Structure 1
Amino acid sequence: MNAEDTVRDQLLADGWNLFPDAGFIETAGPFFHRLQDGQPGLCFPVLDKHENRNGMLQGGALMTFVDRALGFTARHQTQTLATTTVTLTLQFVDGVKLGETVHVMPTMTRATKQLVFMSGVFMVGERTVCVANGIWKKIVAQPKW
């Protein structure tokens, strides 16, 4: 059993659900979700494969998780089957070390007929590592999974 399997099994035992996405998200993850007090919570365990040349979490990997977390919550909160990212703004506040887990409970700021406004404060324990805001458009197209 490798490190990714060990981390996955522990998070599953703790009540987290693995995103079953194929393609890029499967490669970029693993990403997990669960309901906490009726709201989606998401987490991203940082593995060796996410390392940048400074020995920390690669910023692009965190950006992918941010997009997934806020987009997933936009769909969940609006009961929309599919959305697409219109805009996403991030501020990297602190570095993330290998072996740490990034958590977020995103907030829906507003939803209109077509747009969903989202924000999130991404944390490792009590430490803020990223702040993000974005807009998602509800779309008619069905995801292939």
Structure 2
Amino acid sequence: MTDSIPAGFIPWLPKSQFMRHLTDLGAFYRREADNVLALRVNAAHGNMHGMAHGGLLATFADSALGFVIAEQAHVSVVTAQMSVEYLNAVKPGDWLEAHVQIDKQGKRLIYATCLLQVEGRSMLKASAVFAVRHAAVPASDG
């Protein structure tokens, strides 16, 4: 297993409080040139079969989609729908990259696709619809 980080990637700290908890399991990275997000999969990301947990992969894809959409479309979004296809097992030591493409952008909805890849091989495909937020989140009472 290698711990090296490929050239061009810098640490990425998600804004989401939930995603920040996942950084306890391992750091996230970003390549600013093309908004690719990545992580080095390790044993802490695993399921009982020794491969990356499907929930982690889906969460990573969802977060990458939201982040890239917000960056490219300059809007605040929330996930309205997401479907996930698990294509191949992701193993400890794998450098996992999230490649996002906006498929269609409207005023209220944005459609996008995320491919999680290891060395150019697709491991997961997520297709999602994001709702554009036009109002601020209400303040919490407690």
Per the normalisation by structure 1, the TM-score is: 0.81
Code of the residue aligned with 1:35 in structure 2: it is: E
Are 1:87 and 2:81 an aligned pair? yes
Q: CA deviation at 1:34?
A: 2.4
Q: 1: distance between equivalents of 2:58 and 2:66?
A: 12
* Identity across matched positions, percent: 25
CA distance in 2, matches of 1:106, 1:44: 15
Which residue number in structure 2 is paired with residue 108 of structure 1? 102
After superposing the two structures, state which structure 1 stretch, 122-131 or 58-67, moved more.
122-131
Q: How many residues align?
A: 134
| Counterpart residue number, 2:63 | 68
Q: Deviations over 1:15-69 (max 9, x none)?
A: 3231243632122243222223xx3111122122111000000000001100001
Counterpart contact for 2:84–2:125, Cα < 8 Å? yes
- Give the aligned CA root-mean-square deviation in angstroms: 2.5
Corresponding residue for residue 135 of structure 1: 129
Deviation, structure 1 residue 126: 2.4
Q: How much does 1:97 deviate?
A: 0.5
For the residues of structure 1 that align with 2:7 and 2:96, how far apart are their CA atoms? 18
Give, in whole Å, the separation in 1 of the partners of 2:35 and 2:46: 27
- Of 18, 30, 33, the residue aligned with 2:30 is 33
Give me the whole-angstrom Cα distance separating, in 1, the residues matched to 2:37 and 2:20. Answer: 15
The answer to whether the Cα contact below 8 Å between 1:71 and 1:83 also exists between their aligned partners in 2 is yes
Gapped regions of structure 1 (runs ≥ 5):
1-5
Unaligned runs of 5+ in 2: none
Q: Is the 8 A contact 1:75 1:83 kept in 2?
A: yes
Is 1:97 matched up with 2:94?
A: no
Name the residue aligned to 2:53.
58
Whether contact under 8 Å (2:8, 2:31) holds in the other structure is no
SS in 2 for 1:97: coil
Which AA in structure 2 matches 1:34?
Answer: R
Rounded Cα–Cα distance in structure 1 between residues aligned with 2:36 and 2:6 = 14
Amino acid of the structure 2 residue aligned with 1:70: L
